[in-house]
Structure 1
Amino acid sequence: MPEIAIITTGGTIAMVRDPSTGASVPASGMNVHVAEVDGLSAIAKIRHYDFSNVPSPYMTPSMLWNLSSLVNDILKDENIAGVVITHGTDTLEESAYFLDLTVQSDKPVVCTAAMRNINELGTDGPRNVVSSVKVALSPASRGLGTLVCLNDEIHAAKEVTKTYTSNVATFDSPGYGPLGIVDEDKVVYFRRLYYRENYRVRFIEENVALIKTFVGDDGRIIEKLPELGYKGLVIEAFGRGNVPPKVEDALKVLIKDLSFPVVITSRCFKGRVLGIYGYKGGGRSLHDLGVIFAPGLSSQKARIKLMVVMGLTDDLTKIAEYFQHS
C-alpha cells in the first residue's frame, strides 16, 4: 500500500466549538484525529507529522520556511508517494504558493482545510482530507507543483484564492478555474499550468510590506517603511497598475535613493497589470521609474514571491526578471 505523509498545522479543521462561548478554538490532540479520519486506511498508509496547531493567521514567514524544509526532507524518502498538509483557510493560499516556489520535488504536495469545525453540522474536513490523499496518490498529480484541494476541486497554488468568508465552496481560481476534480475514487484533470516556477533558496527576506493604495493616498505610509525595517514593498494598485500621484513621489525615493524593490499588483481579481497609462501615477510612468510588475499574481502571492527571490538577489534588474513570468 502506498504511503502518504500528512502534515497537520492547525486551522478550523483541528478546532472544536467551545461549549461556553460557542466560538471555534484549537483542540488539543485534534491533529491526530485529522490524520486518522475514516476511509484513509483503506487507500494509503499514513505517516503523521504534527507541525503545529495554530490558526492560520498565526503563520509567519519563518514557519513557512520550516514547513517547506520539512516537506523537502519528507519527500526525499522513497517510500513516501506524496504529502498532504492540513491548514487554516485564511492564509492557506500564501502557504501553498510558498511551498510551490520552494519545494524541490515532483511528488504531489496537496494543501487542504475545512470551513466547518468537527462539531458543526456538515463538517467538510474529513472528506477534504480523504480527497486530498487521493490527489496525492494520483500519478497525474506529479509535476504539478503544490495543489489545493477542497470541496472535491483541485486548484493550482499560484491561481487559487479564498473567495467567501464562510461557504465550503470558498476556494476558486478566478479567471482560470480548477485544474481538475475528485470524482468518487477518480482524480480527473482538465488542464495543466503552462508555466510554473521553483527556486532553491537558502534564506528568504521576511521584511516585505504589502500596502493597498486608496483614493487620496498621499504616500506617507510608504515613506515610513525603511525606518520600520522593511526591505521590499508590494503595492496593490488600481486597475492596470495605477496609483495616486503622491504615491509615485514616495516610490521614487524608495527606488532611486534606496534601491528598494517595489512590485505592483492590481486590486482587480481578474486580468493582468501592465504599464498602459502615461500620466503621473499611471502604470507606464511607474514602469519607467523602475517599479516591477507582477502581471498575473495577487498582492499576497506577489509578496510571497518577492520574499523568495530576494533570497536569491538584491539586484533590482534581476528581481524584475523573476517577475516577468508571474
Structure 2
Amino acid sequence: MKKVLIIHTGGTISMKEDKNTGEVSPATEHPLYEVVPSLAEFAKIKDEVLFHIPSPHMTPKNMLQLGSRIHEQLATEDYDGIVVTHGTDTLEETAYFLDLYLQTRKPVIVTGAMRSINEIGSDGLYNLITSVRVACSEEAKDKGVLVVMNDEIHTAQNVTKTSTSNVATFQSPQYGPIGMVTKRGVFFHHTLTKHESYPIQTITTHVALLKTYAGMDHTILEAIRQTNIDGLVIEALGQGNIPPALVQPLREIVNAGIPVVLVSRCYQGIVQDIYSYDGGGKQLKDMGVIFSNGLTGPKARIKLMLSLELTRNPHDLVAMFA
C-alpha cells in the first residue's frame, strides 16, 4: 500500500460553521483528525498540522517554511506522495510557490474546501480523499505540484479561483484541467511540456502588485516607489497597455534598476508588444519592462520574488519570464 503524508495548513477545510450564527471560523481542534482513519483504505496515512491559519494570513515566508518541511519529510521517510490542505483564497499562490521551489519527482497535491467540515454539502473530505488517490497515482509523478478539487486535476501554474463560493471555483482558463478523478480511477489526458525550478534558501524581497484601470494617474506608482520595492508586477490592460500618465514614473522605476513585470488583467491570453502609442506594449518593452507569458498577477509576483533571490540580472529575468 502506498504511503502518503498529509500536511495541514488551515483554511475552510479545517473550520466549522456555528449553526446559531452562521459564522465560519477555525475549530479549536483540527476537524480533519476525525476523518483521517477513513483514508486507510486508500493509503497508509501520516498527517501533521504545520499551520492552522486562514489562507489570507498565509505569507511567502510561510510558503517557504511549508516547502522546506516537505523536503525534510521526503528526505527522512519514503513517502509516495504529499497532500497539503489549504484555504482557497491564496491556495493558487502557495501551490505555484511550491511548484517552483520543490525539488522532487513525487506527486505533491494541494487541496481545500469551499464549505466547512460540518456544513451541508461539505466538499472537504471528498477533496481530501481524491487528493490522496491522485498522490498514490504513478501517473502523477513528474507533473509538478497539482491542485485537486471537485474531481479535477489542475497544474499549479494555470489554476485560479474563479468564484467566491461555488465548489467548482478552481479552473484553468484557456488550458483546462490536465486530468480527472472518477470512482474507477485517476486519469490524465495532458502532459507538461516543461517545468521550472527555483531552489532558493530565503525570501527577502519585497515585490508589489498593481492593477491598472481607466484614467489611472501617476500618484499610485510614485507612492509605491517610496516603499523601497525590489520589484513590481503590473496587471496591464488588454495585451499589455497602460494609461499614458503611468509611462514616465514607470520609466523612472525601470531606470532605477527595479524589475517591472507586465501581465494582463484579462484572465486569458498573453501580453505582447503590439501597440506603439503612448503607454502601448511596444513602448513598454522598449523601455525595459519584462513581459510574462500568461501568468496571473499574483503568480507573476510569486515568481518574481523567487527569481530575485537567485539573480538581479535583467537578461536572466527576461528569460525566466519568456
Q: Do the two structures share a fold, i.e. TM-score over 0.5?
A: yes
Please state whether the residue corresponding to 1:181 is helix, strand or coil. Answer: strand
* Deviation digits for residues 189-248 of structure 1 (CA, Å, limit 9, x no counterpart): 010121221111122344100000111111211112232132110000001000011111
Which amino acid is the alignment partner of residue 93 of structure 1? E
Which amino acid is the alignment partner of residue 16 of structure 2? V
* Equivalence for 1:263: 261
Could you tell me how far 1:77 is from its partner in structure 2? 3.6
Superposition RMSD in Å: 1.3
* Equivalence for 2:168: 169
Could you tell me how far 1:32 is from its partner in structure 2? 4.6
* Deviation digits for residues 136-184 of structure 1 (CA, Å, limit 9, x no counterpart): 0001000000000000100000000001111111100000000000111
* Equivalence for 1:88: 87
Which amino acid is the alignment partner of residue 106 of structure 2? K
Which amino acid is the alignment partner of residue 119 of structure 2? E
Aligned partners of 1:37 and 1:112: how far apart in 2?
A: 18
Provide structure 2 residue ranges, at least 5 long, that are not aligned to the other structure.
none
Please state whether the residue corresponding to 1:62 is helix, strand or coil. Answer: helix
2:238–2:264 Cα contact (<8 Å) kept: yes
Alignment partner of 1:290 out of 284, 288, 292: 288
Aligned partners of 1:310 and 1:203: how far apart in 2?
A: 11
* Deviation digits for residues 26-60 of structure 1 (CA, Å, limit 9, x no counterpart): 0021255266162x111111111211111100001
* Equivalence for 1:152: 151
Which amino acid is the alignment partner of residue 276 of structure 2? G
* Equivalence for 2:246: 247
* Equivalence for 2:321: 323
Please state whether the residue corresponding to 1:259 is helix, strand or coil. Answer: coil
* Equivalence for 1:202: 201
* Equivalence for 1:138: 137
Provide TM-score, normalisation by structure 2: 0.97
* Deviation digits for residues 52-81 of structure 1 (CA, Å, limit 9, x no counterpart): 111100001110110111111122245211
Provide TM-score, normalisation by structure 1: 0.96
Aligned length: 322
* Equivalence for 1:28: 28
* Deviation digits for residues 69-108 of structure 1 (CA, Å, limit 9, x no counterpart): 1111122245211100000000000000000000000000
Percent identity, aligned pairs only?
Answer: 47
* Equivalence for 1:66: 65
* Equivalence for 1:17: 17
1:4–1:136 Cα contact (<8 Å) kept: yes
* Equivalence for 1:98: 97
2:217–2:246 Cα contact (<8 Å) kept: yes
Aligned partners of 1:23 and 1:155: how far apart in 2?
A: 30
